Structure 1
Amino acid sequence: MPQFIPDPSSFDILRGKVIVITGGAQGIGAGLVTRLHQLGAKVIFGDISQPHSQSLLESLGNPPTVTAVEADLATYSGNYRLFRTAFDQYGHVDHALGNAALFEHPGPSSWIDPNLTIDTVGDEALAHPHNKILDLNVYGLCVFARMAAVFLRENRPAGEKDASITLFGSVCCIRDSPGAYIYQTSKLAILGLLRSMRKPVLETFGIRTNTICPGVTQSPMTKRVFHRIQARGLSTQKVDDVVDMTLGLMSDPTINGRSLYVERGTGWEFEEELDRSMQIWLGEEPTKLLRANAEYVNTGALLRDED
Structure 2
Amino acid sequence: MGRLENKVAVITGGAQGMGASHVRLFVNEGAKVVFTDINEEGGNALANELGANVRFVKQDVTNADDWAKVITEAEEAFGPINILVNNAGISMSVPLMEMTEQQYRKIVDINQVSVFLGIKAVVPSMQKAGSGSIINISSINGLVGGAIGYTDTKFAVRGITKAAALQLGGLGIRVNSVHPGVIETPMVTQGDAVEQIKEFAKHIPVQRIAKSEEVSNMVLFLASDESSYSTGSEFVIDGGITAM
- In the superposition, the TM-score normalised over structure 1's length comes to 0.70
What is the CA–CA distance in structure 1 between the aligned matches of 2:65 and 2:120, rounded to whole Å? Answer: 12
Which amino acid letter does the alignment assign opposite residue 62 of structure 2?
A: A
Task: Give the letter aligned to residue 211 of structure 1.
Answer: S
Equivalent position to 1:250, from 223, 226, 243: 223
Deviation at 1:47, TM superposition (A): 0.5
**Correspondences of 1:1-307 after superposition (within 5 Å):** 12-60=2-50, 63-106=51-94, 110-113=95-98, 126-154=100-128, 156=129, 162-177=131-146, 180-203=147-170, 205-219=171-185, 225=193, 228-232=196-200, 233-235=202-204, 236-251=209-224, 252=226, 253-264=228-239
Per-residue deviation, 1:257: 1.5
SS at match of 2:27: helix
Deviation, 1:209, is 0.7
- Contact 2:4–2:29, Cα closer than 8 Å, also in 1: yes
Question: Structure 1 227/211 Cα, relative in aligned 2: closer, same or farther at 3 Å?
Answer: farther
CA deviation after TM superposition for structure 1 residue 225, in Å: 4.5
CA contact (8 A) 1:218 1:237 kept: yes
SS of 1:190 mapped into structure 2: helix
CA contact (8 A) 1:57 1:66 kept: yes
Q: Secondary structure at the match of 1:153?
A: helix
Between the aligned partners of 1:50 and 1:82, the Cα distance in structure 2 is 14
Query: 1:146: how far off?
Result: 0.6
- Tell me the distance in 1 between the aligned counterparts of 2:152 and 2:106: 13
Q: CA deviation at 1:59?
A: 3.6
Report deviation, 1:111.
3.3
Give the count of matched residue pairs: 234
Q: Unpaired segments of 5 or more residues in structure 1?
A: 1-10, 114-120, 271-307
Relative to the length of structure 2, the TM-score reads 0.87
| RMSD of aligned alpha carbons | 2.3
Q: Distance in 2 between matches of 1:170 and 1:258?
A: 13
